[in-house]
Amino acid sequence: MNDGELRELISEQEIAKRVAELGQEISDHYGDEPVVIIGVLKGAFIFMADLVRNLRFSPIVEFVRLSSYGDGVTSAGKVRFHLDIETRIEDKHVLVVEDIVDTGRSMVYLREVLLLRKPKSYKLCSFLDKHERREVDVRVDFAGFKVNQGFVLGYGLDHAEKFRELKGVYVLEK
């Protein structure tokens, strides 16, 4: 790749183990309560599919599409909303599933939009939590892995729409 080299950060086996654990944690949390799971496209689609298969309940599945990166490796700082959910979430538990929480701006924006719709509860599950880059206050209720280095890709995360198919997570090194 012209932009740098890839170094594996999290293996396919580590991901499978952690996603199974998250499925258990989330199932224990909600019990038999109905849940609307909202995946943030495009990056969370692989994680969300694996996560849903590890739940002990059958959620309502929805998607939103936000963007803040474009083709770069740093946040543009402005969130754009491209796709909204179809399900009414008033008085329902909502679990947002994200690929990575970095600056937190996208998740603050989405939380504000969804809370206006009066859900019974709102929780956030993120495959990767990059807490040291936070610019706003965001709580990740269920975190897959905490990362603090470099630009990561693979397992749904991309660089200019490439590398989503990688089964592990990699750091892009210049």
* Separation between Cα atoms, residue 107 and residue 98, nearest integer Å: 9
| The residue to which tokens 């807490």 are assigned | 131
- Whether residue 160 contacts residue 71, with contact meaning beta carbons closer than 8 Å, is answered with yes
Between the two ends of the chain, the Cα-to-Cα distance in Å is: 10
Per the annotation, the verdict on 102 as an active-site residue is yes
What's CA 17's distance to the chain center, in Å? 17
- The catalytically annotated residue of 50, 99, 102, 129 is 102
Tokens of 106: 């996208």
**Catalytic site positions:** 102
